[in-house]
Amino acid sequence: MPRYALKIEYEGGPFNGWQRQSEGQLTVQGAIEAALARLEAGPHTIAAAGRTDAGVHGLGQVAHCDLVKDWDPFRLTGALNAHLRPLPVSVVACALVPDDFHARFSAQERRYLFRLVTRRPPVTHDHGLVWQVGHALDLHAMRQGAAHLIGLHDFTTFRSSMCQSASPVKTMDEIVITELDYPEGREYRFNLRARSFLHNQVRSFVGTLERVGAGAWAPEKVAEVLAAKDRAACGPVCPPQGLYLNGVIYPRDPFA
């Protein structure tokens, strides 16, 4: 059976997360598997690089599927998108891959983006796509706080109680925070890179760093709460709508 890698983007607002759930729950995985069933009869199960929560978006999610028919990748992309309409999910690339390719286990890096907007009037065009706060933030202070999170650490403080990872010890390769000026406010973009992430880790990071940027916490407090290895020490977990699975890196890019 030929195996195909799919690069997928989606707007997470209407979905109850990525992972298939009970009947009647709209999920990204369920929508794509239903589209596959309209192309080839029988149950389909796709595996993804990461499971995003309800409200979280995908810009570069990767999944793989096995099919009976030898599809041309271009035609498979078009056929899937035709059956996914009008849901806000799209297969943006498709590639035939070796049988040992696995969207999750073959990945060597995952990248997330979080968008935070500071302004008083409610956002309109980016409604549901960013986290909005009404106060100013100190970019330099947030960068100082983020520096304490780089490297190999026990991230128990920033781990959801529902996390299924075998260990809280992870290596955070990079956190880059940039600032964009708008006439009505500013946007802060948090770009994070790591081989793997814990459940709610990015949202816990950003919620904590927002407290630093707002002046409620000193940057050095990030190191203190990290060392505490206590979930109760974490800053507030920010809402999901500003979070995007931005990309997945493999030893060999299947879509090159």
Which residues are catalytic, by number?
53
DSSP string, 229-241: T-GGGS-PPPPGG
Helices (H), ranges, the chain: 28-39, 73-84, 139-147, 201-213, 220-228
The structure tokens listed for 20 are 């298939």
53 phi and psi angles, rounded to 5 deg:
-80, 170
The contacts of residue 180 (CB under 8 Å, 6+ apart) are: 186, 187, 188, 189
CA distance linking residue 57 with residue 11, whole number of Å: 5
The bridge status of strand 89-97 relative to strand 3-10 is antiparallel
Q: Does residue 124 sit in helix, strand or coil?
A: coil
For residues 18 and 245, the answer to whether their CB atoms sit within 8 Å is no
